[in-house]
Amino acid sequence: MELKDLLSEIPGLNKRLVYYLESQGFIQPTQVRKLRINRRDYGIEDLQRVKQFWTYYARGHSVRSAMESAARAEQSVVIALLPVAYRNRQRTLEVLREFARVREAAVVYGETGDLIVWMKAADEHDVYGVLDRVFETASVIGVPRLWRVVDDCEQVRSSPHAAELSPEKEKQVLAYVLIKAPPKQVGDVVEKLRKFSGIVEACALYGESDVIAKIIVARQDDLDNLVMNQIQSLPAVESTRTFIAVGGMHWERAAAEVGGS
């Protein structure tokens, strides 16, 4: 996209600030050769980074602080488990779509209508900006549980994007597994999990649970085998808790689409 298109996406943004962000290496548009001057071609990733920056700048951060917060948000993942009344779970999924920083959301089987949410967040303001909106518009019937990822989750295998699922892939089983392990062995557990077929992401967490793994397998039997015979067989694993996503009640953004606000 051209500069004018980028500016139209973010009211209040001016070209001088965009050029400054480029000079600092914060965004890296493609240079398109023209007869007299080079034209900048801004990609989706540039747009999302500027939107992320603008979220903090509009709050009153200095330019430098806003850049640092935006960069930190790109690497900082928070996972929330929300107890939601069954009748409001679809509505809650749609509310979460309004936030570009929410990467993924799924209703999972639980005692209530638990909903798991993955979001990019530099600080508590980012997290509660999302959760406050959910509380306002949906029926959350308890206190959310939050985990912050120690390092950005590494996607170790391709995860099918919700919009691209074929009829065959729609039959796959999606699950999230919380794992307890001794603190000194968490890193080793994460590395071993990343080698198991069916685990598409695994990362360490701050909080009462130590590791989370995202699983996509073809059948329930495959999930049972992976959790009970592989994950639980690791010597360092003390316990696991598995959340199976409800069919058709999950969505996920492409990585380039995840941004601020």
For residue range 157-200, list pLDDT tens digits in order: 544 433 333 345 557 999 999 999 998 999 999 999 989 999 99
Q: Do domains 3-74 and 75-149 have the same CATH topology?
A: no
Q: Does domain 154-243 correspond to CATH entry 3.30.70.920?
A: yes
Encoded tokens for 11 = 């009211």
> Residue holding tokens 């493609």?
30
The domain 3-74 is placed in CATH, from the list 1.10.1660.10, 3.40.50.150, 1.10.10.10, 3.20.20.140, at 1.10.1660.10
CA atoms lying within 13 Å on the CB side of residue 144 = 21
pLDDT at position 85 is: 86
pLDDT at position 205 is: 93
Closest CA to 186 of 202, 166, 165: 202
pLDDT at position 136 is: 85
Sites in the chain below the pLDDT cut of 50: 158-167
Q: Does domain 75-149 correspond to CATH entry 1.10.1040.10?
A: no
Looking only at the bridges linking them, the beta strands covering 115-120 and 173-180 are: unpaired
pLDDT at position 163 is: 35
pLDDT at position 161 is: 39
pLDDT at position 166 is: 39
pLDDT at position 159 is: 46
Distance CA 25, CA 195 (A): 35
> What is the chain's Cα-based Rg?
20
Spans of all domains in the chain: 3-74, 75-149, 154-243
Question: Three-state DSSP class for 185?
Answer: helix
pLDDT at position 153 is: 62
Encoded tokens for 186 = 């968490």
pLDDT at position 165 is: 38
